[in-house]
Homo-oligomer: A and B are copies of this chain.
Amino acid sequence: MATQTAAERREEARQRYNAYVATCPSRKLLDTLSDKWVSLALTALAGGPRRYSELARTIAGVSQKMLTQTLRTMERDGLVSRTVTPSVPVRVDYRLTPLGEDLMPLLEAIKRWAEIHMEDVEAARQAYDRRSGHRP
């Protein structure tokens, strides 16, 4: 039963984190935004509704699995809506919901901060690497 201890500790830690996340809206939001592809999908959809295949092409580099998964999550979160046109072959369009559109200004604020300050970050990184680089 000693083997359980490790598992138990894991569970405990996970639950602590989950409990935290559950009560903290900003962490949940960050968890969402932080998802590699969510922000890209949002940006891609900002210009208007897009078909699945359009998104796949626009967000070049995303796997089909992740694209679907991302869109599903976003749909579940009420950020995008999914419309199926039962033609042959099927056509599926995604568009931002009002909630999703409401998120865009925030995303742009992030983008703006990044564009202004990321070169400072870059410089800091290089300085740091130079400093600690010579004693490995």
Nearest residue (CB) in B for A62 is B17
CA of A27 to CA of B107 in the docked complex: distance in angstroms?
Answer: 11
Interface of chain A, helix or strand or loop or mixed? helix
CB pair B77 A125 closer than 8 Å:
yes
Cα distance A40–B27 when bound, in Å?
9
Closest to A28 in B: B118
Q: Among B13, B28, B113, B128, which residue has its beta carbon within 8 angstroms of that of A106? A: B113
A1 close to chain B: CB less than 8 A: no
The interface residues of chain B lying within 8 Å CB-to-CB of A91 are none
Size category of the binding interface on chain A? 35 or more
Number of copies of chain A assembled together: 2
Q: Name A43's closest neighbour in chain B (CB-CB).
A: B26
Q: A78-B125, A124-B77 are in contact. Are A34 and B30 (CB under 8 A)?
A: yes
Chain B residue numbers with a CB within 8 Å of A76 are 124-125, 128-129
- By a CB distance below 8 angstroms, the chain B residues around A118 are 25, 28-29
| A70: interface (CB < 8 Å) | no
Q: Is the CB of A25 within 8 A of B125?
A: no
- 6 A-B contact pairs sorted by A residue (CB < 8 Å): A25-B114, A29-B117, A33-B110, A76-B128, A76-B129, A106-B110
